[in-house]
Amino acid sequence: MSFTKSLAILRLTEVETEDSGEYICEAKNDAGKDICSSIVTIKGVPTEVVKGLEATLECEVTGTPPFEVKWLKNNKEMFSSKKYAISTKESVFTLNVTNCDVADVGEYQCIISNEGGSCSCSTRLSLKGQSSRKHIQNITSPRNEKIIISVCER
C-alpha cells in the first residue's frame, strides 16, 4: 500500500483468481472514521479446446464437507446430460463437455458452498482457431448518404 497526499493506493500485482473478493479500506482520524469497499473479480485464463474434442473444467476446494456444487454456463444452471457430465471426486468438482462446438463457447462458472459460505471460479471456453472477428450485415445506401455502423458486443 502506498500514499499520495491524502490518497491511499493498494496495488495488486501478478494477480491470481484467489485474489478475487471484497477489499475494504478503513480510514480513521480525530474526526472519526470512514469505510469503503470494492469487489474485485479476477477471471481465469480462457480455456481453449479444439472443435469436436472434449473440454474438462475442474474446480478444487478446501473446506469442510458436505459441499453443494452448481455449474453455470452464461449464468444458467447446468445439469448432467449426454453433452455435459458433472462429477465429484473428493474435493475436485469436474465438468466435462463432450464434442465441443460453437454452441459450447461461453462463460462457465463453478459455485461451491457449504455451511461456512461459498466460493466460485469461472473461465471462458472458446474454440481454438475460432475467429473473434465480428461480422456485419451488408448495408445498401444511396450515394453521398451518411452511414453509421455500430458493432455491439454482448
Q: Are residues 105 and 56 in the same domain?
A: yes
Q: Is residue 140 part of a domain?
A: no
Shared domain check, 108 and 59? yes
Residue 149 is assigned to a structural domain of this protein: no
Number of domains in the chain: 2
- Domain contains 152: no
Instruction: Determine, yes or no, domain membership for 77.
Output: yes
Q: Domain range spanning residue 62?
A: 47-127
Mark whether 16 and 56 lie in a shared domain: no
- Terminal C-alpha separation, the chain: 36
In the predicted structure, residue 101 carries a pLDDT above the cut 50: yes
Give residue-wise pLDDT tens across range 57-92.
998 888 888 999 999 999 999 999 999 999 999 889
Of 74, 125, 61, nearest in space to 97 by CA: 125
Quote the CA–CA distance of 72 and 83 in Å, as a whole number.
Answer: 14
Same domain, 51 and 107: yes
pTM for the whole structure: 0.59
Residue 107 domain-assigned (yes or no): yes
pLDDT 10s digits, 126-150:
998 755 455 566 666 677 776 666 6
Classify residue 32: in a domain, yes or no.
Answer: yes
